Amino acid sequence: MIQEELVLPNGVRLKNRLIKAATSELLATSAGAPADELIRLYRTWAAGTPGLMISGNAIVDDRYPEGARNVILREENAPELTRWAEAAQATGVPLLIQISHAGRQTPRIIAPTPVAPSAVNAVKVLYSFGKPRALEATEIDQVERQFIDAALLVERSGFAGIQIHAAHGYLLSQFLSPETNLRTDAWGGDISGRARLLLNIVSGIRKATSSKFIISVKVSSTDFAGSADDGSYVMRELAKRGADLIEVSGGTYEKPLLFDRATTKKREGFFRDFAGLAKRASSAPIMLTGGMRTPSGMSAAIREGVTDAIGLGRPIIVDPGLPARLLRGESPPPDRSFEHLPHTFRTFAVNAWHAAQLHRIGRGQQTDPKMGILIPMLRHLGAFHWNALTRTKPRPVLAEAAASRG
């Protein structure tokens, strides 16, 4: 099953069902242009023959990244974006750019007062985040425009498409979740209000781009507060408005389920119940990410109607050649999950350790599955602060820029 082709609603054909999931690489220049290491990394992943690749967070508003070396989707970076698209897709594996706005998950060192649908509490993880203020209605319109403009830049640069990041507690996920969206206007209240911004962005991008441009959306099963009706509504509407692929994940920085081994029960896939619901509600293909590890478990999930495609995160970082091996019937070794560490540190450790592996590939080295955890954590922390201090100052956007020009 995983060997089978997948035809997306817009007619684009993926050669197999294995998809490299988004992995924040933090390999851009201080101005947010893709660096050579990032380009080498994606060439290496393409050689592993997945059916599709999805990049890590690329930011639509440079004031609100999730990390200081995220790619920033601004016009000035178009030449490097084009070089990335050409190199990564040279062998025919399409690459989607994950377009994202971190909202209240923007680190405090970059935005002391980040933005969110509502002025809820700060994200309580390692004292790294400030208390957000609520976005004004005009700013929400601006966010919608920024996502559409980002998608247009991605299309002009030659990428196969985008993935809208509406999962893991970033801005669009904050709008979907009743825990972080307490608005009483058109963008809050019931699910049709909370999903309005995301759905408008999907419709706007579908209208603005060509029919062959792939539109994917990543959602967290945990943002629907257990309501199957709300989840089904969003899945149905995403497909209606032209989404070609819906990825199902879960969790946030505060509730980091996405790396939780404890949630893997008898069968593979942390979020398979929600994936099944999504598949029943939506006419768009579903991609299930999180804890999928064996070729037989993956094929079974497809055969049982839980999902159409399989997302690979940690294992494809440790072994960029993994898709080819899975297609031959081999399984990866177990994850390094650092279960001896306390919960909050564990998520940080998993990120730091995997980032160190990504960076090795970017430099043209082999990964080091036996690497310890202390040095990657210290390096990650040091780089995080250094990169934040040395990043190019954000540029005013749209209305603010117009106002300052008078």
Ligand X SMILES: Cc1cc2nc3c(=O)[nH]c(=O)nc-3n(C[C@H](O)[C@H](O)[C@H](O)COP(=O)(O)O)c2cc1C
The beta strand positions in 273-393, using DSSP E, are: 286-289, 309-312
Look at the alpha carbons of 167, 107, 67, 31 in this order and tell me if their dihedral is positive or negative: positive
Cβ-based neighbours of 117, under 8 Å, separated by 6 or more: 103, 134, 135, 174, 175, 180, 181, 182, 183, 187, 188
Q: Which stretch binds ligand X (CB under 6 A): 7-15, 42-50, 143-151, 164-172?
A: 164-172
Q: Binding ligand X by CB under 6 A: which of 290, 295, 362, 376?
A: 290
Q: Which stretch binds ligand X (CB under 6 A): 3-11, 74-82, 185-193, 287-295?
A: 287-295
Beta strand 13-14 with 6-7 is antiparallel
Per residue in 31-68, is it b (16+ CB within 10 Å) or e — as a string?
A: ebbbbbbbbbbbbebbebbbbbbbbbbbbbbbbbbbbb
Cα 159 to Cα 164: distance, rounded to the nearest angstrom: 14
Q: Which residue is nearest to ligand X (CB)?
A: 313
24 close to 56: Cβ distance less than 8 angstroms: yes
Q: Binding ligand X by CB under 6 A: which of 167, 195, 238, 277?
A: 167
Q: Binding ligand X by CB under 6 A: which of 14, 22, 87, 148?
A: 22
Cα 222 to Cα 226: distance, rounded to the nearest angstrom: 7
Q: Binding ligand X by CB under 6 A: which of 49, 57, 89, 221?
A: 57
Q: Does 23 bind ligand X (CB under 6 A)?
A: yes
* Location of structure tokens 């070609």: 244
Write out the binding residues for ligand X, residues 355-374 only, by CB under 6 A. 355
Q: How many CB atoms lie within 10 A of CB 207?
A: 10
Q: Does 314 bind ligand X (CB under 6 A)?
A: yes
Q: Does 312 bind ligand X (CB under 6 A)?
A: yes
Number of residues that bind ligand X (CB under 6 A): 24
- Residue 25's SS3 state is coil
Nearer to ligand X, 183 or 387 (CB): 387
Nearer to ligand X, 58 or 284 (CB): 58
| Closest CB 27 distance from ligand X, rounded Å | 12
Q: Which stretch binds ligand X (CB under 6 A): 16-24, 126-134, 388-396, 398-406?
A: 16-24
Which x/- pattern over 217-246 shows residues binding ligand X (rule: CB under 6 A)? Answer: -x----------------------------
Nearer to ligand X, 117 or 315 (CB): 315
* Element (DSSP H or E) covering residue 161: strand 161-166
Question: Which parts of this chain interact with ligand X (CB under 6 A)?
Answer: 21-24, 56-57, 98, 165, 167-168, 218, 249, 258, 289-291, 312-315, 350-351, 354-355
